[in-house]
Amino acid sequence: MLAGGAGLLERAAGDLRRALSEENDQPDAAGGPDAIVGAARRSGGAGQKYLRHWLPSDQRSARLAIYNSDDELRFEESGRRDAARIFPYLSPRSTVLDFGCGSGRVARYVAPRCAQLWAVDVSPRMLQLTRERLRETANLRFARCYDVAIPDVPSASVDVVYSFLVLQHLEREDAFLALRELRRVLRVDGIAILTFPNLLADIYLEGFVHYALSGEVTNQARARVYTPQEVERVLPAAGLSVVDVEAANEIVATCRPVR
C-alpha cells in the first residue's frame, strides 16, 4: 500500500483539508499565514481552483493533510518507502519532476539520487514547506502548477515524473489535462510513475460511499476513484503508453510517452 492514501486515512485527511480551507476563508490574523499565502489566497481566478485546500500553516499541519498523521517518523519512513519505487528509474544524470510534491515527503529521498528535481505544486505554501524541510538539498528547483499547467518547466526536459496521491484530488477532466501536461514535459524516452485510488479496493469503495452519503461531492479536494481499466484507458488518451499497472488499494501506473 502506498503511504497515506487509502480509504479511512484519505477520508480523515479530507476532513482536515476541508477544515484548513474553511480556516483559510477567514481574514488574516496577526501572526497567521505569511504574505505569499495571503496573496495567493486573495488572488482567486485562473490557476487557483485547487489552491485553497492546500495551505497548511506549518509542517505538522502539512503532515496531517498529506498523511493524516502527526507522527514525523512514520511520515519520513513512508517517504523513504514510496521513493524506493522511483529508485530503479534514476541515474545521477536524471532530471526528475515530483508533481504535487506536498512538503517533500518523497522528494527528500529521491533528490539525492538524481541531478535535478523539480518540486511542483499548486500550493506556494507547500513549496515553501518543501524548501524549508529540504534546505540541505542543493539540486531542487521549484515550480507552481496553475490548475493543470506548469509553465516554468520546459517541454521534453524531464527523464522521470512521479506523482503520488495527487491526481485523485483533481476533477477527472483536470487530471486528464494534467496527464497531458506531464506528457509535455517528459523526454521521449522518459518514464512516469503515477498513483490513483482503486475503486475496486474495499477501502476506497468505502471512502466513496462515505463521500456520497456525507455530501462531500462539493469538496474540491476529495479523492476521485478509478478502476484499473479506466487508468489503462485514460493514460494512452493523454499520450502516455502503459508499461505496467499494479492494482492494490492504490493503482500504480508506470507509463512512457506515446511515440
- Closest separation in Å from C-beta 171 to ligand SAM: 9
> Could you tell me which residues come within 8 angstroms of residue 236 by beta carbon, excluding any fewer than 6 positions away?
242, 258
- Closest separation in Å from C-beta 52 to ligand SAM: 10
Q: Tell me the residue number closest to ligand SAM, measured at CB.
A: 102
Nearer to ligand SAM, 110 or 166 (CB): 166
What pairing do the DSSP bridges indicate for beta strands 250-257 and 240-247?
antiparallel
Specify whether the CB–CB gap between 134 and 104 falls below 8 A.
yes
C-alpha cell at 91: 541515474
The string of DSSP codes covering 206-230 is HHHHHHHHTTGGG-TTSPPPB-HHH
- Closest separation in Å from C-beta 213 to ligand SAM: 22
- Closest separation in Å from C-beta 181 to ligand SAM: 9
- Closest separation in Å from C-beta 247 to ligand SAM: 18
Nearer to ligand SAM, 169 or 183 (CB): 169
* Binding region for ligand SAM (CB under 6 A): 50, 54, 66, 100-102, 105-106, 121-123, 126, 145, 147-148, 164-166, 169-170
Nearer to ligand SAM, 79 or 257 (CB): 79
- Closest separation in Å from C-beta 189 to ligand SAM: 24
Question: For the sheet containing 240-247, what is the strand order?
Answer: 140-144, 116-121, 95-99, 158-163, 186-197, 250-257, 240-247
Nearer to ligand SAM, 109 or 257 (CB): 109
- Closest separation in Å from C-beta 195 to ligand SAM: 8
Nearer to ligand SAM, 47 or 239 (CB): 47
Nearer to ligand SAM, 229 or 246 (CB): 246
Which residues sit opposite 98 in a β-bridge?
A: 119, 162
Sign of the torsion angle spanned by Cα atoms 197, 2, 152, 127? positive
H or E, element range at 1: none
Nearer to ligand SAM, 104 or 257 (CB): 104
104: left (phi over 0), alpha (psi -120 to 50) or beta: left
Specify whether the CB–CB gap between 203 and 2 falls below 8 A.
no
